[in-house]
Structure 1
């Protein structure tokens, strides 16, 4: 919901100024017209104080997937388009989605197409969804398109959850290990260090090392925080430059073990998107352009753009993919078969299903591989610190 400043004239000729909360400029104009005002000007207030603030995306992907499935179900049940949107607006717990759906319903009642009405909310409704809905409206297959999109985004959500779980687990364990290590070095080790010093006994090398490192952490703890902050800032800055972002995406695909997992996830998304677009009768060049924008990895995006240029020259879609390390032979062979048989969408769908299954299996394998490694690492760090304390204590006991 945004705030708009307006200038208008009442029926008795009085000029008035004021502020109005509305979702879009068009809806603000409609509300003022219903108040029997002659509107001179309506401008959005861009001040920070007048904006709705959301941390991250205004709509959670889980809520978006649920909304799309419900939308598809209602349309299949025979409800009218406006009735379905109104019902969804009443049922959703998401405030941004509720406000957007109310405005979309209002505009659809006025004769605006659903795709045009949804296009005004790019943060809520992705470009792919809007384009597919537009295709469904033109072809008269809106119900089928909604069902296909609901299935597509459900698969995307499941893949994203798998990738997130697999990659987040080692980060959480590593963070936990770091917190425990810092706690031991800052609060526990100094207590025993003072005790050992009071006895005046010669300390083992392992204890000297841990005590020295403990003193260093207490005095220069900021040296551990500042590099992390600088790395995060540098990473975000580098991502803004296309060439640097390309190399970062390339690096992510070449990381041992994890890179192969990310590659499968990216290819699963690419083939699912391209298959859905072609199946909905979107022209192949347009489908490639949309898919290249949807795929998050710039390495794959570059090859898709080259494939589009190859098609314009009358060459095969698979030609730019041949010999490129990011595309396995399976995808290339299936695309060639699909081009020859005229069933490219079906071949891509089969590849997408294969990679979808491989992502799930790879996620489970990755977790089963990382878990013991991280546990051993955590046990080794803590064990090393504990041993540095226990060994001199045994020496002291023997002395007494």
Structure 2
């Protein structure tokens, strides 16, 4: 459910204000009308405090792809949209998708277009899919569009899995390092601290430093936890500010080793999305606008916006990209050639295929490079604490 803030009047003419939870704005208005409220203004509450919390996505990528392929097969077989939606509603086990399809079916029976009906559920049906279905409705090849979208989201899922696979290992090793370090400082080091004190001998400066850190962890662990939580909330807050959000996205692209990997994945998604839209006869200006909203990096968003403005002025799509370091010459030159030859969608697809293959190789190289580095890092962290305990023990044994 989504929460909406509304303003209206009841049957007695009294002004009402409040919030209501519903699947869509249309449903919210319908519910309020049933209660006798005439709505003047209604808008979705964007704050995460008013959002439903799902453990994971509302629908898994695999289930979403299967849904699109089944929908395509039914439409291609000549089954009406209303009947196809009803069949899919009966078959799906996902609660959110089942409820949405039931309401989409009601909308279709009222004569509302499929794209417009799906647009009421942005959490389940992305804007890109809605735009492509709209193009399919206009051109009359809806089944083909649905099949293409199933392939597109399948590729997007595979692309995401490559990124997750490459980044999971260092994140897991990093988390293990932190947990082991905290365990050693909070439980193991204090045992030896009392032993060192009992022998009343001078402790090396390095060992004293580690013991002081251990003391801080024991006494102020709650403060450290509070700092981590505060840092997360500060990051979430600053992420809403355009200037800071842009800086964060720029920093991600400049991270050594990982930055190049992230850059390639974003370029693969951008070219793949733009190619799919153009191949489905979506006007280029609209295709660029949709792609801009789909990409989740503000650096590339800014360049795409500039490219859209360049097109509006009758200039080249590639021109603003050529001025930004994020877009390699391969991308800008292929786009420029596609514009000149009238085969922009084909050129973009070639670029997307190239970066998908490049990501496969980069993912394997990244994993082979990170594995020994992270093992050395973990050994160094643990070894540093162990050495702080072992060094003074030799002095104690010599004294004994």
Asked if the contact 1:306–1:320 (Cα under 8 Å) also holds between the matched residues in 2, the reply is yes
Shift of residue 94, structure 1, vs aligned partner: 1.8
Does 2:52 correspond to 1:53? Answer: yes
What residue in structure 2 maps to residue 16 of structure 1?
none
SS of aligned partner of 1:115: helix
Mapping for residues 253-268 of structure 1, pairs under 5 Å: 253-268=253-268
What residue in structure 1 maps to residue 14 of structure 2?
none
In structure 2, do the counterparts of structure 1 residues 39 and 245 end up closer, same or farther at CA, with 3 Å as the change threshold? Answer: closer
In structure 2, do the counterparts of structure 1 residues 73 and 394 end up closer, same or farther at CA, with 3 Å as the change threshold? Answer: farther
What residue in structure 2 maps to residue 294 of structure 1?
294
Shift of residue 155, structure 1, vs aligned partner: 1.2
What is the alpha-carbon distance in structure 2 between the residues aligned to residue 292 and residue 311 of structure 1? 14
In structure 2, do the counterparts of structure 1 residues 382 and 97 end up closer, same or farther at CA, with 3 Å as the change threshold? Answer: same
What is the alpha-carbon distance in structure 2 between the residues aligned to residue 201 and residue 39 of structure 1? 80
What residue in structure 2 maps to residue 219 of structure 1?
219
What is the alpha-carbon distance in structure 1 between the residues aligned to residue 308 and residue 271 of structure 2? 15
In structure 2, do the counterparts of structure 1 residues 52 and 175 end up closer, same or farther at CA, with 3 Å as the change threshold? Answer: closer
Does 2:141 correspond to 1:171? Answer: no
What residue in structure 1 maps to residue 307 of structure 2?
307
Asked if the contact 1:238–1:245 (Cα under 8 Å) also holds between the matched residues in 2, the reply is yes
Greater Cα offset, 261-270 or 378-387: 378-387
Mapping for residues 1-400 of structure 1, pairs under 5 Å: 40-41=36-37, 53-55=52-54, 57-400=57-400
TM-score (structure 2 length as normaliser):
0.85
In structure 2, do the counterparts of structure 1 residues 373 and 303 end up closer, same or farther at CA, with 3 Å as the change threshold? Answer: same
In structure 2, do the counterparts of structure 1 residues 39 and 193 end up closer, same or farther at CA, with 3 Å as the change threshold? Answer: closer
What residue in structure 1 maps to residue 7 of structure 2?
none
In structure 2, do the counterparts of structure 1 residues 335 and 29 end up closer, same or farther at CA, with 3 Å as the change threshold? Answer: closer
TM-score (structure 1 length as normaliser):
0.85
Shift of residue 282, structure 1, vs aligned partner: 0.8
Per-residue CA deviations over 1:257-305 (Å, capped at 9, x if unaligned) read 1111111111111101110111011111111111111111111111112
Per-residue CA deviations over 1:37-64 (Å, capped at 9, x if unaligned) read x9855889x99xxx99333653344433
What is the alpha-carbon distance in structure 1 between the residues aligned to residue 301 and residue 242 of structure 2? 12
Greater Cα offset, 219-228 or 292-301: 219-228
Shift of residue 77, structure 1, vs aligned partner: 4.6
Give aligned pairs, total: 382
Per-residue CA deviations over 1:300-341 (Å, capped at 9, x if unaligned) read 111112212222222221111123201111111111221122
What is the alpha-carbon distance in structure 1 between the residues aligned to residue 228 and residue 269 of structure 2? 31
Shift of residue 22, structure 1, vs aligned partner: 7.7
In structure 2, do the counterparts of structure 1 residues 357 and 112 end up closer, same or farther at CA, with 3 Å as the change threshold? Answer: same
Asked if the contact 1:274–1:345 (Cα under 8 Å) also holds between the matched residues in 2, the reply is yes
Shift of residue 87, structure 1, vs aligned partner: 2.4
SS of aligned partner of 1:317: coil
What is the alpha-carbon distance in structure 1 between the residues aligned to residue 171 and residue 240 of structure 2? 24
What is the alpha-carbon distance in structure 2 between the residues aligned to residue 32 and residue 238 of structure 1? 35
Asked if the contact 1:285–1:308 (Cα under 8 Å) also holds between the matched residues in 2, the reply is yes
Asked if the contact 1:32–1:39 (Cα under 8 Å) also holds between the matched residues in 2, the reply is yes
Greater Cα offset, 132-141 or 193-202: 193-202
What is the alpha-carbon distance in structure 1 between the residues aligned to residue 323 and residue 233 of structure 2? 36
What residue in structure 2 maps to residue 15 of structure 1?
none
Per-residue CA deviations over 1:165-212 (Å, capped at 9, x if unaligned) read 323432222121111111111111111221232233444444333222
Shift of residue 92, structure 1, vs aligned partner: 2.1
Shift of residue 396, structure 1, vs aligned partner: 4.1
In structure 2, do the counterparts of structure 1 residues 196 and 179 end up closer, same or farther at CA, with 3 Å as the change threshold? Answer: same
What is the alpha-carbon distance in structure 2 between the residues aligned to residue 299 and residue 29 of structure 1? 37
User: Unaligned stretches of 5+ in structure 2?
Assistant: 5-9, 11-19
What is the alpha-carbon distance in structure 1 between the residues aligned to residue 176 and residue 312 of structure 2? 53
Per-residue CA deviations over 1:222-260 (Å, capped at 9, x if unaligned) read 443333233222221221121221122112111111111
What residue in structure 1 maps to residue 13 of structure 2?
none
